[in-house]
Amino acid sequence: MENLMQSNKQGKIKFWLPTLLAIVMVVGIVIGTKLKPAPKMVAFNPSDFPAITSLEQGRVEELIRYIEAKYVDEVNGDELVGTVIDKLLNELDPHSNYISANELEEVSEQLDGSFDGIGIEFMIMEDTVVVIAPIVGGPSEAVGIMAGDKIVSIEDSIVAGTKFSLDDVMEKLRGERGSAIRLGIKRKSDEDIKEFSVKRDEIPIYSVDASYMLDSETGYIKINRFSANTYAEFMQSVEKLVEESGMENLVIDVRQNPGGYLQQATKILSQLFKEKDRLLVYTEGRFGLRNEYESTGKTFFKINNITVLIDEGSASASEILAGAVQDWDRGHIIGRRSFGKGLVQEQYRLTDGSALRLTVARYYTPSGRSIQKSYDNMDSYDGDLMNRTYSGELSHLDSIDVVDSTEYYTASGRVVYGGGGITPDVFVPIDTLLLNDYYLSLRQHIPQFTYRYFERNEKQLDMERKAFLHNFQFSSKELKSFWDYAVEKGIERNENEFKRIEEVLALSLKARLAKILFQEEGYYMVWNQQDPIVQKAIELIREDSSLSLEE
């Protein structure tokens, strides 16, 4: 027995035990009724948790040692401990989770709003890495890499004509800030391969995808997440729209926005309420501690009518934004019922470089409602979108299930409900063609087809954005070419289904082409021309039917 315990497997145990014990100790604190709340800290240490006895620690350690030493089959220590950790956290709620050291960097990038790399958007077409666009101001643009360039080699590795995956290429391109990387580039106009040396730098991940004017008075801002830079990006967008275009009204689009930092949402909300100390959201933990977030009263620009667009993918900080606007009758909420995530997580670094993201409180809208949906049935929780589709909720307002019948009241006395997301003031059903199986199977081939179309028609597409938006359309012949291309890639030819989705397919192709020509903003400018939720927002603002109590 003693000899077995000295085997190489024990190295894995020693590596993982601090992490596992930290998780066990935290779970003990969360579920123990007499223990004190855990302090906020950078890393866990057993001495920080005197309430956890050595017997409890020893029990877990002993169990894993026996499995490693005596189990009939060889086990992977890393996977075993990971399974134990996941099982522990799954007993709590859907949003408390363990993040491995490898995963933590990617997760942090999304919230921190940047990563270290060379600054290009690219795609893999068959077996070729193609640059869609260099990021403006990034290191690739600085050395002269252009849209349409094909990357044939990275350092000494040939990537053209090989089976490198998207992740493989990203791993090779990313690296420590300041380090240089050699790229072999084949440019359409040149026969020879050019070599570029690119010095990696900090590359921003933008959370505002688009900001432009929907009409002469109304601006539109699309927020894809609430990262560390979202408020700054939002304010830059507002400033541009007000000073350059005279914006008076604003549509904020947080559809498919999964949330992020709560404080970023409250800072944006502060710019929508001119009064000081107006309650925007509050949080409460298990021990009754209440934290309130209020408006500052320091607004930089006057914004009249406000409209917030939400859907089934709007969660967390997105729901905080929509909930405050709705409760104070500051403007219309338009779309479909939001996701329903009303739990607040804090992230704690563990000793091995991984992290624990632990639910520490619930948040409540100004009227006092919690919009967290039930997670008693995790199968139902994980399959939420499918359940909403089958129930008819995405298509019919009266199919929305009001789980909590408690009535809450907005500032003007309107009744609203909690217990499962924000229900919009104005419901707009989903376009069922977007859920059509044949459309979804064809859609995956749109990026490559549109890029090939761009390469073949680059000169004809050299036009101003306004001209493209109003004049360009894919012809029936070009749509047929796309259909043929998808069939070559393995999609079954179905003429009846193709005719049903032809219009939305043409819109999708044009929007994707606009993204190539005019970046992310171009995509939304095309799509929003026919988006029923955006069009409803414009209609309500033009009717001057604002709910605002700001005057």
List pLDDT tens digits, range 463-478: 999 999 999 999 999 9
52-55 contacts: CB < 8 A, separation 24 or more? 52/24, 52/25, 52/28
Best mean pLDDT range from 83-97, 119-133, 180-194, 440-454? 440-454
Task: Return the amino acid letter for 291.
Answer: N
Domain annotation covers residue 261 = yes
Angle at 177 between CA 172 and CA 183, to 5 degrees: 40
Residue 126 scores a pLDDT above 70: yes
* pTM, entire model: 0.84
Same domain flag for 289 and 394: yes
Q: Quote the pLDDT of residue 216.
A: 95
Task: Return the amino acid letter for 302.
Answer: K
Q: Quote the pLDDT of residue 100.
A: 85
Task: Single out the residue of 225, 238, 213 nearest to residue 525, CA to CA.
Answer: 213
Number of domains in the chain: 4
Domain annotation covers residue 100 = no
Q: Quote the pLDDT of residue 392.
A: 83
Both tokens assigned to 264: 């970023």
Compute the distance between CA of residue 339 and CA of residue 341 in angstroms, rounded to an integer.
6
Instruction: Identify the DSSP state of 66.
Output: H
Where among 376, 399, 427 does a domain terminate?
427
Same domain flag for 247 and 368: yes
Token pair 């021990």 in the structure block, residue: 287
Sign, CA torsion 421/424/425/430: negative
Domain annotation covers residue 101 = no
Residue 516 scores a pLDDT above 50: yes
Residue 237 scores a pLDDT above 90: yes
Domain annotation covers residue 448 = yes
Same domain flag for 300 and 401: yes
Same domain flag for 217 and 234: yes
Where among 153, 185, 204 does a domain terminate?
204
List pLDDT tens digits, range 25-84: 444 333 333 333 333 333 344 444 444 455 555 677 788 788 888 889 988 877 777 788
Task: Give catalytic residue positions.
Answer: 316, 341, 345
Angle at 401 between CA 397 and CA 402, to 5 degrees: 105
Q: Quote the pLDDT of residue 41.
A: 34
Same domain flag for 119 and 135: yes
Q: Quote the pLDDT of residue 174.
A: 87
Task: Single out the residue of 343, 319, 339 nearest to residue 269, CA to CA.
Answer: 319
Same domain flag for 85 and 148: no
Mean per-residue pLDDT for 170-183?
A: 91
Task: Single out the residue of 422, 92, 113 nearest to residue 254, CA to CA.
Answer: 422
Domain containing residue 260: CATH number = 3.90.226.10
Same domain flag for 77 and 218: no
Domain annotation covers residue 103 = no
Same domain flag for 277 and 132: no
Domain annotation covers residue 154 = yes
Distant-in-sequence, close-in-space partners of 215: CB < 8 Å, separation ≥ 6: 538, 542
Same domain flag for 131 and 162: yes
Mean per-residue pLDDT for 326-340?
A: 96
List pLDDT tens digits, range 365-421: 999 999 998 887 776 666 677 778 777 888 888 877 777 778 999 999 999 998 889
Task: Return the amino acid letter for 385.
Answer: L
3 state SS for 451-476: HHHHHHCCCCCCCCHHHHHHHCCCCH
List pLDDT tens digits, range 245-281: 999 999 999 999 999 999 999 999 999 999 999 999 9
Same domain flag for 35 and 67: yes
Residue 343 scores a pLDDT above 80: yes
Residue 307 scores a pLDDT above 70: yes
Angle at 23 between CA 16 and CA 27, to 5 degrees: 160
Same domain flag for 333 and 367: yes
Compute the distance between CA of residue 148 and CA of residue 137 in angstroms, rounded to an integer.
18
The CA radius of gyration of the chain, in Å to the nearest whole number, is: 26
Instruction: Reduce the DSSP state of residue 93 to 3 states and report it.
Output: coil
Domain annotation covers residue 381 = yes
Residue 525 scores a pLDDT above 60: yes
Q: What percent of the chain is predicted at pLDDT more than 90? A: 58
Domain annotation covers residue 97 = no
Compute the distance between CA of residue 527 and CA of residue 533 in angstroms, rounded to an integer.
11
Domain containing residue 151: CATH number = 2.30.42.10
Distant-in-sequence, close-in-space partners of 108: CB < 8 Å, separation ≥ 6: none
pLDDT classification of 103: cutoffs 50, 70, 90: confident
Same domain flag for 287 and 409: yes
Q: Quote the pLDDT of residue 479.
A: 96
Domain with 13 in it? 2-92
Mean per-residue pLDDT for 98-111?
A: 83
Where among 181, 204, 227 does a domain terminate?
204
pLDDT classification of 111: cutoffs 50, 70, 90: confident
